[in-house]
Amino acid sequence: MNKQFRKIALVGKYQESAEAEAMTALGQHLLAAGYKVLLPTPITKKIDLPGAQACDMKKLAATGDLLIAIGGDGTMLNAALLVAGSATPVLGINRGRLGFLADIGQADMLPKVDEVLAGNYTEDRRLYLVVSLSNGPEDRTLNALNDVVIQRADTGRMVDIETRVDGHYVNTHTGDGLIVATATGSTAYALSCGGPIIQPSLGALLLVPVCPHALSDRPIAIRADSDISLRLVRSPSGKVPIFCDGRLLGNMDENQTLSIRASKNRVTLIHPADYDYYRMLRSKLRWGDSSRGDRE
C-alpha cells in the first residue's frame, strides 16, 4: 500500500513568475485540503502563502513527507539531491522545456497531485553518484543524479583522460572530455554525444567520450556498482573543470585523480499511476512525429 503524505514541501525557481504562480496555486490548494505546506525560508519572503511553514532548505527532507519540485529538469536535479540519503520522495511539476524527470504538466497539476496524495502513484528508485576529487589534505565531494562531466578548459585544445574501472585500465581518452552518466542521465548530455538511452531500472553506468579524437573511442556501458577512477594525463591549461549535474566540483590538475561510485542509497521519484516511461520518451524525443500520429 502506498504511503499517505501529509507534510508537503514545495521548491522551485520562485524568482520566475510562472513558477511562482504555479507554486502559489498549488500551495493554496494543498492548504485548503488540510495538508501542511513547507516552503524554504527564502521562498516565504517572495511568495504570499499564508499558512505555509518556513523551513531551512537543508531540513526539508527530514521535515516533509513529500517534496514537490516545480520547474524543469534542473529543478528536479536540485530537489533530488536535497533528499539524497533520506527516504523523502520527489514529485515533479514540469515548467521547463523537456521535462524527462518532471512529468506532470501545468494543465494537469492539481488533479494529478490529488491523485498522488490519494495514494495513486508509482515509485521509481534512481541511483546517484558520489564524486570525490582529492584536494590536498581533504577530498571535495558532490553527488550527481544525472552525470559527471570532465571537459577541456581551452577552446580547440584536446585533453587526455585515463580511465580505470575496478582497478582495470580501460583507455586514455583524447578529445574534448568525458561523461560518466547514470541511466537517468543517459537522456541528457550523454545522449547528444552518441550515448545510448538506458532504462532507469537497469543497473548500468555510461562512459561517454566527448568529441573523441579516435572514432573507435565509443561509449561503454558498465555495471552500476563499478568503482571508476579518472586521471588527467594532459591538458594544455594544466587542469580541467569537473561538473556534477552542472555544479562545479573543482578543477582537476594533471595527474590528479577523480573517484566516482554509485551511492548505496537511492533517490525515490514519484510518478502518477498512469506514467509510462516509453510514452514519455516518444513525447519528449518526438519519436514517430508524423501525420500518422502516435500509437498507444
Judged on CB neighbours under 10 Å (0-12, 13-18, 19+), 148 is buried
**Among 48, 65, 73, 139, the one annotated catalytic:** 73
Is 66:72 a contact under the CB 8 Å cutoff?
Answer: no
Please confirm, yes or no, whether 73 is among the known catalytic residues. yes
Name the grid cell of 43.
521562498
- Whole-angstrom Cα distance, residue 217 to residue 173? 7
- Cα 24-246-65 angle, rounded to 5 deg: 40
Look up cell 591538458; give the residue. 235
Which residues 6+ apart lie within 8 Å of 278 measured at CB?
none
DSSP state of 4: P
Q: Which residues are catalytic?
A: 73
